[in-house]
Amino acid sequence: MTNAERETARSGEWTITTTDGETVRGYLPDWAQDDPSRSGVRPDRLHLALADIELEANLRGLILPVTLGQAPAEATPVLAVTIGCKPFGENDEPRTPTARVQIVDDFWIDDLGPDDLADLGRQLRTLGDFLVTTAKSVLETARADWERHGPASRPHG
């Protein structure tokens, strides 16, 4: 990106300029992490350059040790949130900002509006409460039982 393009980004605008000098401008929101501005686009490919514009903000999620099969655990993003839109997207692509939640790897919950995102947050809070109040207790009971009755507690013979 050139200095002029960076300056344009700071002013809240992206630009796509073709090789014949045509310039298309659009709004660059403060939350967008990257400026999609480009120059040197062939005029016959302008529609493709516009269709590729994606405004996005990657928000934090959790980094947890995730295991796939027998492989060693790897630090992996879990429940990471992305806010984004494609102003010139296809019919099934959001033209207004929506949220996507990455469950893990390439598994996503897509097209979440504000209420959908809040509903997911409440469901995750309920799951968190269940893990703390119920699952933890069941695991502690299972471990105590195993300690008393599992193979390590029996004499060998």
Counting as low any pLDDT under 50, the low residues of the chain are 1, 3, 6, 8-10
Mean pLDDT, the chain, whole residue set? 91
Q: Is 154 left (phi over 0), alpha (psi -120 to 50) or beta?
A: beta
- Residue for token pair 């900002």: 97
What span, in angstroms and rounded, lies between the C-alpha atoms of 20 and 91? 29
- pTM here is 0.77
Please state, in angstroms and rounded to a whole number, the distance separating the CA atoms of residues 55 and 121: 23
pLDDT for position 119: 98
Alpha carbon dihedral 113, 75, 67, 150, in 10-degree steps, equals -110
Tell me what pLDDT residue 77 has. Answer: 93
pLDDT tens per residue across span 34-77: 999 999 999 999 999 999 999 999 998 999 999 999 999 999 99
Instruction: Please return the burial class of 13, using the count of CB atoms within 10 Å of its CB with bins 0-12, 13-18 and 19+.
Output: middle
Residue 2's pLDDT is 55
